[in-house]
Structure formats: structure tokens, C-alpha cells
Amino acid sequence: MKNHSLALKLSAGFGFLFLYAPIVALIIYSFNESKLVTVWGGWSLKWYVELFQNEQIMNAAWVSLKIAFISATLASVLGTLAGFVLSRMGKFRGKTMMAGWVTAPLVMPEVITGLSLLLLFVAMESMFGWPAGRGTTTIVIAHTTFCLAYVAVVVQSRLSSLDETLEEAAMDLGAKPVSLFFLITLPLISPAILSGWLLSFTLSLDDLVIASFVSGPGNSTLPMVIFSKVRLGVTPEINALATLMILVVSIAVIAAIFIMRRQSRFQNP
């Protein structure tokens, strides 16, 4: 028995090593004093300082955060509506197909999503003159499109696990449909929406492929800048930047998980 558990611990340890050793190495090397990425020269924060003085990277970070914030917010609103329709409209013709359409972007290769959106934007521009050129707006639209699917799935699953008698009770006590939604349904699904928002935020922040298709000159997102810099060689500065991104994304993901867990405990005491 004891050997058995030792074997289990070893394989778990190996698994985690496989997953996280590269990230740990990256984080350690971001504090490297040396200019050469592969040579250790002692601890230092100098690459973080340089990072914050690099205007190109700081601009890209600002663009990325702005895009992530706006598209996560838009995706949350639209995704909530989609999730609501999917779980509350009862059985209607084409419901399964609609559910498929909403969730398709989850499995669609990003290259295809990116390419098709690019073609759409170009066509729209020549037909209506909007969106004029490609830039922040087009990236926001593209990110909203694929983040919406995530929010819809999270909200739908929350809604279908929601006790429907709560809504009936509210109606019974005199709540008309609009106040029912804002006073009962929305507060109860808000943790799902919030965690959907956080997921969308990180997805948007991470995205390289779709953004590359639909961005224009001067609107490079952070992942695009990193990617183009890395092609010229990895600098310790990039390590520092990557460490910060890991930090932001981890915080967002952990917060999302925490909110969902707290909610489920709260619902089923």
C-alpha cells in the first residue's frame, strides 16, 4: 500500500514538473541580472525596470488591457442574453442548432475565425464604410465574438442549475418579469457572469492568432509585440513581461474559480 501511494506521488510530481517547470524557469530567469537569457548572473529587478521604460511594450500592454476590458464586458452582456435564451426559451425549433452555433467558436480553429472575420471586415468596409480600416475596434469585435461563447456556456449551465421555484416564488410575491430578472435572476447568476467576464478577459489578453488577422498598423496587442520580438531573439525583458502576464492571468483564473466555488456552496448549504 505504501509503495502504491509513493508511486502515485511520484507520477503526480512528474506530471506537475512537466507542466510547470518551464514556467518556473521563465519566472526565475526574469530576475536574471545577465543580459544573456541562458546565463545566470545573479538576482536583479533591472529587466522589470527596463520593461516599464520600454514605450512600445507599454503601449501594447495598454492596448491589450483596453481591448480585453471592453470585449470581456461586451461578451458578458451578449453571452448572458444568449445563455438566457438557451436555457429559458423552452424547446423551440432549431434550439439544438442554435446551441451548437453559440458554442462552435469554442472548437473552431482560431486561424479560421481570424480569417473569416478579416474577410467580413474588409467586405463591410467596402459596402458600408464601417469599420474604417482595422484596429482596436475590429479586435474588440473579434474578441467579443469568441468570448461570447464562453460566457454563454457558463451562464447557461448556471441558469439550468438554478432552482426555478425561486423565480416562481418571486412572481408569486408580485414581481413582474422585469423586476424578477433584475432582483432575483441577475443577482443569482452574477457570479457566473463575473467568472465569464474574467475568463473572457484572460482569453482576450492571451489571444495572438485572431488579433494578428484583424489588427491594423499601430494597434499591436501585447502578444503580437512579444511574438515579433521573440523572432529576433529572446531578451530577459520578455521574460519579465511574460512573468507579469502569468501573474495577471493566474489571478483572474483563480478569482473566477473562487467565485464559482463560493457560489455553489452558498446555493447548497
Partner 1 sequence: MLTGAFMSVSSVSPIVTSQSMPTWRQKDAEPFVRIEQINKAFGDFTAVNNVSLDIYKNELFCLLGGSGSGKSTLLRMLAGFESPTSGRIIIDGVDMSHVPPWERPVNMMFQSYALFPHLTVEANVAFGLKREGLPSREVKQRVEDILDMVQLGHLARRKPHMLSGGQRQRVALARSLVKRPKLLLLDEPLGALDKKLREETQFELMRLQDELGITFVVVTHDQEEAMTLATRIGVMNNGVIVQTAEPHEVYEYPSNRFVAEFIGNVNLFNGIVVSDERDSAAIQCDDTNGLIYLDHGISCAPNQVVNVAIRPEKMRIAREASSAENNSAEGVITEVAYMGSQSIFKVRLLSGKEVRITQPNSHRDTGERLTWDDHVYLSWDADSSVVLTS
Name the residue with cell 531578451: 235
Closer Cβ to partner 1, 126 or 165, answer by number:
165
Closer Cβ to partner 1, 21 or 164, answer by number:
164
CB of 176 to partner 1, least distance (A): 6
Closer Cβ to partner 1, 133 or 187, answer by number:
187
**Binding residues for partner 1 restricted to 146-175, rule: CB under 8 A:** 163, 165-166, 168-175
As a dihedral over the C-alpha atoms of residue 170, residue 173, residue 176, residue 177, rounded to 10 degrees, the angle is: 20
**Amino acid letter, 202:** T
How many residues make contact with partner 1 (CB under 8 A)?
A: 20
Closer Cβ to partner 1, 4 or 176, answer by number:
176
The CB density around residue 110, as the number of other CB atoms within 10 Å, is 16
| Residue 184 zone, left/alpha/beta (φ > 0; ψ -120 to 50; rest) | alpha
267 scored as a contact of partner 1 (CB under 8 A): yes
189 scored as a contact of partner 1 (CB under 8 A): no
262 scored as a contact of partner 1 (CB under 8 A): no
The CB density around residue 210, as the number of other CB atoms within 10 Å, is 25
CB of 265 to partner 1, least distance (A): 8
Q: How far is CA 226 from CA 121, 135, 159, 243, in A?
A: 25, 18, 39, 12
Binds partner 1 by CB under 8 A, chosen from 141, 147, 188, 192: 188
Three-class DSSP category at 10: helix
Q: Dihedrals φ, ψ of 253, to 5°?
A: -65, -45
91 scored as a contact of partner 1 (CB under 8 A): no
* Residues near partner 1, by CB under 8 A: 163, 165-166, 168-176, 179, 183-184, 187-188, 266-267, 269
